[in-house]
Amino acid sequence: MPIISTKGQLMPESPIRKLVPFAEKAYKANKKVYHLNIGQPDIKSPKQAMDAVTSHSLDVLAYTRSEGSETYRMKIAAYYQGKNIPVDHNEVIVTTGGSEALLFAMGSIADTGDEIIIPEPFYANYNGFAIASGVKIVPVISQIEDNFALPDISEFEKLITPKTKAILICNPGNPTGYLYSKQEIQTLAAIVKKHDLFLVADEVYREFTYDDVKHYSILEEPGMDQYAIIIDSVSKRYSMCGARIGCLVSKNKMVLNTALKFAQARLSPPTFAQIASEAALDTPKSYFDQVTHQYKERRDVLIEKLEEIPGVKVGYPKGAFYCIVQLPIKNSDAFAQWLLEEFDVDGETIMVAPAAGFYSTPGVGQNQIRIAYVLNKESLIKAVEILKQALAVYKE
C-alpha cells in the first residue's frame, strides 16, 4: 500500500477548523452556535470593492503579471507611503492571500532544516507553513502574565544558531492581540542586524489598534532595508477574507527576485480579487474609524465580562481582534468539543479555538483558548455567559 509523505503526516490540523464536524452536529441538533473560534469579521466589505467587481468591463478573465498588476501595486505603494512606510511599487509582490506571502518568504530565505525564531503563541498556520517549507520553528515563549510582551533579548540570543535565518512576528498579534511598541521593534531590529538575520513581520492587522496606541512597522525603522520583509493581506483590513489577496513587501532586491520566481511558478494572483482589492484602497478613513471603534467596544465588553468569571485570566489586546483566555481546566480541546457535543443553554452554545495549536512547544497552552471578538456586543455578552455556565458544570 502506498505511504504518504512524512511532511504530510507532520502537517498539523487547524485548531480553528478541526472542530467543524462537531459544530455541524450541533447545527443538526438545532443548536445555535456563537462562533468565537475564527477571525471572520461580520463587518461589511467596502462598497468600493464590491462595486468594482460587479461593474467590470472584462471580456476575458486573463492572467495578470506574476507579481500582480502594476496599477494595483502602485496603489499599494501609495497606501504604505501614507503610513510613513517608504515603499516603491517594484518592492511589492501580490500574493494569493497573506498565506502565500509567508510561504514565499520562507522559501526565499530558508533551506530545509533552517530555523526561524517566533514568539509564541503565534498564528497557528505558521506551523503548517514551516513544515511545508522544511523549516524548523524555534519558539520563544511569551507569557500571559506579561500580557504576551516581547521576551527579553537574552531569550532570543540563546536560541540563535548557525541555522537561524529569521525572526518572525505578528504585529498586532494573532492570537494574542498584542501590539509591539516602537522600542520592542527597535530591539528586534538590533538583534537581526547584529546576527545578520531577516525580520519578517506579519502586519495584516495594522489598521486595528486601540487606546490611542499607533502601529510601528518594521520598515519605518531606519536601516532595515536589507533585513525587513512585510507580510500583508486585505482579508481582515477590508473584511475580504474570501478575496485571498495579500502581498510580500521588501526593499531587499535578492528577496524580491527570489520571491518572484515562486510567484512565476504559480503563474498569477486571481484577477477579479485584484480588481476588488485595488478598489478597496479607495476606502475612506471613516470606514476604519467606524470599524476600529466597533472592535474597541467589543474588546472592552468582552474583557469586562470574562474577568467576572472565577478562575479566568485574560490577555489584554491592544490590536487586532483576538485575545487568549486561560481557563480553570486542563484540556481546552476536550472542553471545546464538549461545548459543541454535550452542552447548551436554552439551545445555544459556543465554539472556541483551543490555544495549544497556537504553540509549537509541546504541552503549552492546553488550558487556554483563543476568542475572536468578531460578533456584535450583544452576542459576545451572551457567549461569555454561556462560557461562564459551562465552566460551572464542566467535569474533566
Mean pLDDT in residue range 197-204: 98
Three cell numbers, residue 390: 459551562
What percent of the chain is predicted at pLDDT more than 90?
A: 95
pLDDT digits (tens, 9 = 90+) for 129-158: 999 999 999 999 999 999 999 999 999 999
CA atoms within 13 A on the CB side of 142: 26
pLDDT digits (tens, 9 = 90+) for 236-283: 999 999 999 999 999 999 999 999 999 999 999 999 999 999 999 999
- Above 90 in pLDDT, residue 17? no
Q: Following CA atoms 145, 151, 155, 156 in sequence, which dihedral angle do they give, to the nearest 10 degrees? A: 150
pLDDT confidence bin for 56, thresholds 50/70/90: confident
Q: For the chain, give the mean pLDDT.
A: 96
pTM of the model: 0.96
The predicted model gives 322-337 an average pLDDT of: 97
What is the spatial distance between Cα 108 and Cα 255, in angstroms, rounded to a whole number?
6
Domains (ranges, CATH) in the chain? 6-44+286-393 (3.90.1150.10), 57-280 (3.40.640.10)
The predicted pLDDT at position 14 comes to 82
Q: What is the pLDDT of residue 352?
A: 97
Task: Give the tens place of pLDDT for each residue, 107-133.
Answer: 999 999 999 999 999 999 999 999 999
Q: According to the model, what pLDDT value does residue 285 have? A: 93
Region 317-346 average pLDDT: 97
The length of the chain is: 396
Residue 50 CB: number of other CB atoms within 10 A?
A: 15
Q: Are 382 and 366 in contact (CB under 8 A)?
A: no
395 falls in which pLDDT band (50, 70, 90)? Answer: confident
DSSP state of 32: E
The yes-or-no verdict on residue 211 having pLDDT over 90 is yes
pLDDT in tens, 355-386: 999 999 999 999 999 999 999 999 999 999 99
Per-residue pLDDT at 15 exceeds 80 = no
Percent above pLDDT 70 for the chain? 100
Burial 266-285 (b: 16+ CB within 10 A, else e): eebbbbebbbbbbbbbebee
Query: What is d(CA 235, CA 39) in angstroms, rounded to the nearest whole number?
Result: 10
Whether 31 contacts 349, CB under 8 Å: yes
Q: For residue 256, count CB atoms less than 10 angstroms from its CB and return exposed for 0-12, middle for 13-18, buried for 19 or more.
A: buried
